[in-house]
Structure 1
Amino acid sequence: MTHITFVFNLMVCGRMNDNLALEELVLHSPAPLDTCVRLSRALTLAALREKERSVDLLAAACYCELMASDLLTLAASAGGHGAGPILTAVDHRGASVLDCLIEGRQKGVVSHPAVQTYLTDVWHGSLQWDSWKILLLFFCLLLFPPLWLALSLPHRHSFNTIPIVKFMSHLVSHVFLLALFILTIVYPPRSPLSEGRLVPGWSECLLLIWLCGMLVSELTFPGERAGLAWIRLLLLGFSAAALLCHLLAVFTQWWLPAHLHCLFARNILLAVAMTLGFIQLLEFLTFHHLFGPWAIIIRDLMKDLCRFAVILMLFHTAFTLSLTALCQPLYPQDWDNSTGNATQVTIPGPLNMSVLLFFALFGLTEPDKIPDMEHSPATTAVLAKMVFGVYLVVTSIVLINLLIAMMSDTYQRIQAQSDTEWKFGRAVLIRDMSRKSGIPSPFNLFTNLFYSITVLCKRAGKICSVECHNVKNEDEDTEGGQIATSMSGGQERVENVVDWSSVVQQFLAQRRQRDRSPPERDE
């Protein structure tokens, strides 16, 4: 599957006989579902390399994905236990089938009703409550922090191992993080920035502890690194830069006002981190069927905006430098055509011209704001206005409408498959929450320290990460912990989880039934 030449030749053979070569390879394998998923992923990756035949490769990948959906339907009904045993079975690498589906980006298979039913059972665990009760529990966690602390710590109850409770605990932790950002830079409770106090206040200390907890969580469980998940790393990066600015202010406090500038830079970096924190709320909203598709649409629209920004930057830079060159004075500075007196000429720089043209995109710049050209020929002002007009035509009419068309196409494309996109994002969220620790930041700092000390005492000073993980499992060995273990891969192999020979026979029978003409089926 990893050899691109084999995958490409398989696609070519499949096009010659109505994808029969793909079917034979899949149906004669020990685990047809696993083979179908891996083959679909291999064809998709080959399409990214072989641009000349990408359409044919993607068509073959879609055919394999449809085969995988049919095989999963038949296998779930043949076993009599639903899709759970199949999704928790492992392949030759030790990865579960659900992990292979997510890794292979098999969105059509993940959105299968049997898969979604299994994920819903995992999401709620033993907490079979109504929606209003779960919402009430979330607000209780938010308004009563002691209750949040009690449900987050690994006591003998099973609440902190249920994925939906884990999700609410991490969401409450994130809301408190945003509140600490606001108290630190928006409404500082201790003193304004102008006083230049370098000793951290209580809000700054709590913010640092919260961020350290987030860093420990990212190091212990990175999670999915796609889409909005990168915002967590950016937030931690800007926060680390803000901490360095605060330390730099401590070392430069004897050179006034250098430390004030460092504190000002720290607040700017924290403001960027706070903005990223608010954007990260979109990641938490992916579980909901109303807001999940919106988060996916916004994510892809931002990709279109980044591609558009590259093209706009090329035109913007070219016209900025052109106008800057036209505005350079031709005659000496002490020359005045009307009076002959010496005058001082203000030469516009590329930065000022760039700002002028940027706001012209939004209609906030008039042609009269172009710098005067008294020390240049009279035709220079006409040329400058012509260049300015061509810039507005190219950017406002051509490029802006191109951006609108790109975003409209992206919106319609995602809206058409919004249900599939949302179900795939929901599966990733449930998978990550099932594996992730239920202890949010900053409590994970203290629990990890406690586990390390426990291992140190048990192993006579020899700390091993695997042993520390085993000690944690001893405290979290409840129903939710078993769910997390099953989703990361059970002990049963996918080849033995179901009688694949009977599943293949049913698949071939269904295909023969579909291939028969309507009059033959009536007979």
Structure 2
Amino acid sequence: MLAATKHVGLDIEAPGITKGPIEMPSLPKPLTLEEKKYMLAVERGDLAYCRRMIQRAHRRGSININCVDPLGRGALTLAIDGENLEMLEVLVVMGVRTKDALLHAINVEFVEAVELLLEYEELVHKEGEPYSWENVDWNISMFTPDITPLILAAHRNNYEILKILLDRGATLPMPHDIKCGCEECLRDSNEDSLRHSMSRVNEYRALASPSLIALSSNDPILTAFQLSWELRNLAFAEPECKTEYWELRRQCQKFAVDLLHQSRSSQELAIILNHDPESPSYEDGEHMKLARLELAINYKQKKFVAHPNIQQLLAALWYEGLPGFRRKPMVQKCLDVSQVALLFPFYCMLYMVAPNTATGKLMRKPFMKFLIHASSYLFFLLILILVSQHAEVQVTLLFGTETMKTALQEQLLKQRGNSPTFLEWVVVIYVLGFIWEETMEISREGMRCYLRNMWNFIDFTRNSLYVGTTLLRVAAYVQQCREISKDPATAYIPREQWDDFDPQLVAEGLFAAANVFSALKLVHLFSINPHLGPLQISLGRMVIDIVKFFFIYSLVLFAFACGLNQLLGYFADLERVRCYHLPGGIPDWENNGDACMKWRRFGNLFESSQSLFWASFGGVGIDSFELTGIKTYTRFWGLLMFGSYSVINVIVLLNLLIAMMSNSYAMITEHSDIEWKFARTRLWLSYFEESATLPPPFNIFPTPKHIMKLLGMRKEDKLRRMSTRHCSVNYLYQVRILVCWTNTLSIHHRDERKERQEKERDYRYTAVMRSLVWRYVSTMHRQAEDNPVTEDDINEVKTEVSAMKCQLLEVLGKNGMDISCADSKEIDDHGQEDAHVGATSHEGLPSGSCDRRRGAGPTQGATSGERGLSGKVPAYCQAGRHQLIRSQVGGGRARSMPGVSTSGQQV
């Protein structure tokens, strides 16, 4: 048995590891027979026997009242595990050292024991000295050094214990940023990187406690959002603890959803979702800005956004102005939508002329605004289809006059120097409207919010391609007109004789790519549909999988392309010579067409990469290796490399991609409703905002509304400048002085009104938050009471029955009853259970799994009365005796406990 501490001569020099000698832990000593009886009496709740043993120990020193069993459990720990408050009071008052008993009481959620031990700590603690739970051997302690009572209570998420600790002044330091370079963080990381990382995890696990957030935050929902986002960033910054951080993030998200679930009226929900510390409070009937909901979307609180309470409110706002639309038959809905889609130009022109009419006000409603914008975009796609199909040519051939057909034939022959057609001018006007729409969105929301929406990247790419197309068409028109002015015959050069990178050809390529992005925007518009929306979410997730797969795929492809190009490059060059043997370097497709095809397969690194890529889709066969002059050995190695590539990329990696996509689809299917509602809400919010009512291209035309607004702003600026000039120059005149005072008073009243609105806003929101927190705590308490009976509850009842038996025997003995038979049976029981209390190995370690420790069951209100204690008791216990021995210790005085947290920001 090693009782003394020994030093082992092993110095650690690696960075991030504790340097210095490693200490041998001080393991428990074997228990004597009397100590075994003492520990067993504590476990069974025999108050009288324990009291006599402790008194005898104070007089004679026969036993060590602070002894521990082979599992490291002392008398206080056994009493706490059995939730025996009376036994705990006796042990504390009679001088048993508490050590980390407070942490054990918090760990098993024994509220009365926590109150008792906190009051005892206030009595005995001296300023500047460590607390009792800090005076332990951390090598064998159950808890790590960074665990404080408040952190442990937050880990257990016990509302009562947390409130007790916070009322007594306990604080929790805010963790430093993971990239913090302060002296303290650098020192801790260099000394022990593992402990530094685990300490951060423990601190964030405490901060993520729903009960701690509810008790310490004035805005629990905002705190849960911010902490959830911070934990997300930590999961990416510290992948070693990613699982723990993601679990804590889900816990914060669930807490926000549980609070939202407690809302009971539309008014409470509106106050929550419209709360903005920078804006006035929301009043019934006002336009909902939904600032808190936008914040939830920015923090990716998908379950919060998809909650039925929020979705019901959003649906009511979405169909505002169209009463009964959702209850109409499907056929009637389609007819109404088709009517708006066909007549959208007339609606837009009417709004431009008279925006304040009934129809104009209806167009500002979210659903109508969506229909108008979607109809305009569908019309734009129709124009693109007509442009790509050369509709003007077809119409002229079908319905044009002979003169028009003759002019058309002349124009078709003259392929260079042509000006844009009418439909192409319509596309240009639409593009200007799109650019203006995106510009206004950036100015309204800011660049950061604009970049958070991935669909804005598609819009930006589409607009950029159209702008590039327009510029290249202008450059091509200028270049071709200059060439035609020098030689009119150049206007009739056919396309097959143009330069490969002619500006008009490049512009047509960009225009085709822009049309693809324009059509893809339909996917975003159809995300509002409950059937197509989840498919759009699945498509987006699969695109991410394809990007991940393509990275590995490209590495393998590049590796084999390098090898095949080096191996077959010489023979591919021979094929190229056969192809271009005609004078002037013209390819001989008629006689050597096969050589013209084969030399491109492995002529250079780029061509080799292309060949291997299309080989994945069956575009390249083994006949491509039949090159001029190739040797059998070289051909064999080429085919072997090509076969290896096919096995790796075509069979293995492509099947891996299929598995990844299947897994993503399965994950999306499990959460399809939440993912779809979150995406739909983002789309809805874009139409709830006070954005442009008119869609492109109508938004670029000036309207009377904009003209009047512009004139009103100029008039207001002019009056403000006149008022300022009068106040600063002509202040000697009485009228001007009155004007100045009037302006000053109006500013003062405006400030007072603003301050009053801020107080009202904070009061209403705080009142709603307190109601939600109270309902949440009550619900959690009721759910805890409804838990079924567990083994811990049975063990607790057994302990109470045993303690009651011992107390009954004591009372009967004091009243002259003969209890010798019961005493002898007790002694026999003690002897039979000695093996459990004191079984040890030769080195003092537990010899077997004989742990009978009781877990933490639901908190039970134990009762105890004051009992007279006799014998030798320490002086400090005598002084605080009457304060400690009570059934409810919550009336003790509160004291700030710097030992819980010596520094840092308070929660």
Tell me which interval the TM-score lies in, with the shorter structure as reference length: 0.7 to 0.9
- Contact map agreement 1:242 1:270 (CA 8 A) in 2: yes
Which residue of structure 2 lines up, in the alignment, with residue 367 of structure 1? 622
**Per-residue Cα deviation, 1:433-490 (whole angstroms, up to 9, x for no partner):** 1113221001110147962675157516979xxxxxxxxxxxxxxxxxxxxxxxxxx9
- Contact map agreement 2:364 2:693 (CA 8 A) in 1: yes
Distance change in 2, residues 1:451/1:397 (3 Å): same
Q: Select the residue among 140, 146, 149 that pairs with 2:348.
A: 149
Which residue of structure 2 lines up, in the alignment, with residue 83 of structure 1? 269
- Contact map agreement 1:34 1:91 (CA 8 A) in 2: no
**Per-residue Cα deviation, 1:393-428 (whole angstroms, up to 9, x for no partner):** 011111101111111111111111010001111111
Q: Select the residue among 250, 268, 275 that pairs with 2:509.
A: 268
**Aligned partners of 1:332 and 1:197: how far apart in 2?**
40
**Aligned partners of 1:110 and 1:370: how far apart in 2?**
58
CA apart distance, 1:310: 1.8
1:109 aligns with 2:304: yes
1:302 aligns with 2:302: no
**Aligned partners of 2:175 and 2:532: how far apart in 1?**
37
Which residue of structure 1 lines up, in the alignment, with residue 9 of structure 2? none
CA apart distance, 1:185: 3.0
**Per-residue Cα deviation, 1:83-116 (whole angstroms, up to 9, x for no partner):** 2221111146898211111111100111111000
Distance change in 2, residues 1:192/1:461 (3 Å): farther
1:135 aligns with 2:362: no
CA apart distance, 1:42: 1.8
Which residue of structure 2 lines up, in the alignment, with residue 511 of structure 1? 780
CA apart distance, 1:25: 3.0
TM-score, with normalisation over the residues of structure 2? 0.49
Distance change in 2, residues 1:22/1:86 (3 Å): closer
Q: Select the residue among 284, 292, 297 that pairs with 2:525.
A: 284
Distance change in 2, residues 1:395/1:83 (3 Å): same
**Aligned partners of 1:82 and 1:501: how far apart in 2?**
12
**Aligned partners of 2:770 and 2:670: how far apart in 1?**
36
- After the TM superposition, which residues 395-434 of structure 1 pair with which residues of structure 2 at under 5 Å, given as runs? 395-434=649-688
**Aligned partners of 2:382 and 2:217: how far apart in 1?**
55
Which residue of structure 2 lines up, in the alignment, with residue 237 of structure 1? 464
Distance change in 2, residues 1:371/1:151 (3 Å): farther
Letter in 1 for 2:274: T
- Contact map agreement 2:571 2:628 (CA 8 A) in 1: no
**Aligned partners of 1:208 and 1:20: how far apart in 2?**
53
Distance change in 2, residues 1:192/1:364 (3 Å): same
Q: Select the residue among 382, 385, 397 that pairs with 1:179.
A: 382
1:217 aligns with 2:417: no
3-state SS of 1:90 partner: coil
Which residue of structure 2 lines up, in the alignment, with residue 4 of structure 1? 177
1:49 aligns with 2:240: no
Letter in 2 for 1:47: A
RMSD of Structure 2 on Structure 1 (CA) = 3.4
Q: Which moved more, 1:234-243 or 1:180-189?
A: 180-189
**Aligned partners of 2:699 and 2:665: how far apart in 1?**
39
Task: Mark the runs of 5 or more structure 2 residues left unpaired by the alignment.
Answer: 1-173, 181-196, 281-289, 394-410, 443-449, 484-489, 491-497, 576-591, 719-757, 794-857, 861-907
Q: Which moved more, 1:418-427 or 1:221-230?
A: 221-230
**Per-residue Cα deviation, 1:201-236 (whole angstroms, up to 9, x for no partner):** 211111111010011000101457433332111110
- Contact map agreement 1:330 1:377 (CA 8 A) in 2: no
- Contact map agreement 1:71 1:507 (CA 8 A) in 2: yes
**Aligned partners of 1:10 and 1:71: how far apart in 2?**
27
CA apart distance, 1:35: 1.7
Distance change in 2, residues 1:188/1:121 (3 Å): same
Q: Select the residue among 261, 266, 286 that pairs with 1:73.
A: 261
* Bigger radius of gyration: 2
Task: Mark the runs of 5 or more structure 1 residues left unpaired by the alignment.
Answer: 335-342, 464-489
CA apart distance, 1:503: 2.5
- After the TM superposition, which residues 452-491 of structure 1 pair with which residues of structure 2 at under 5 Å, given as runs? 454-456=709-711, 459=714
Distance change in 2, residues 1:462/1:331 (3 Å): closer
**Aligned partners of 1:500 and 1:215: how far apart in 2?**
42
3-state SS of 2:627 partner: coil
3-state SS of 2:222 partner: helix
**Aligned partners of 1:93 and 1:45: how far apart in 2?**
29
**Per-residue Cα deviation, 1:308-349 (whole angstroms, up to 9, x for no partner):** 122211111221221111113389979xxxxxxxx9995823
1:207 aligns with 2:427: yes
3-state SS of 1:348 partner: coil
Q: Which moved more, 1:311-320 or 1:437-446?
A: 311-320
Letter in 1 for 2:457: W
**Aligned partners of 1:439 and 1:46: how far apart in 2?**
43
- Contact map agreement 1:29 1:35 (CA 8 A) in 2: yes
Once the two structures are aligned, what percentage of the paired residues are identical?
A: 24
CA apart distance, 1:243: 0.8
- After the TM superposition, which residues 248-397 of structure 1 pair with which residues of structure 2 at under 5 Å, given as runs? 248-253=475-480, 254-255=482-483, 257=498, 261-329=502-570, 348-374=603-629, 376-397=630-651
**Per-residue Cα deviation, 1:142-191 (whole angstroms, up to 9, x for no partner):** 33344442566434232121111111111111111112222223325156
Distance change in 2, residues 1:368/1:207 (3 Å): same
TM-score, with normalisation over the residues of structure 1? 0.83
**Aligned partners of 2:715 and 2:418: how far apart in 1?**
42
**Aligned partners of 2:390 and 2:426: how far apart in 1?**
15
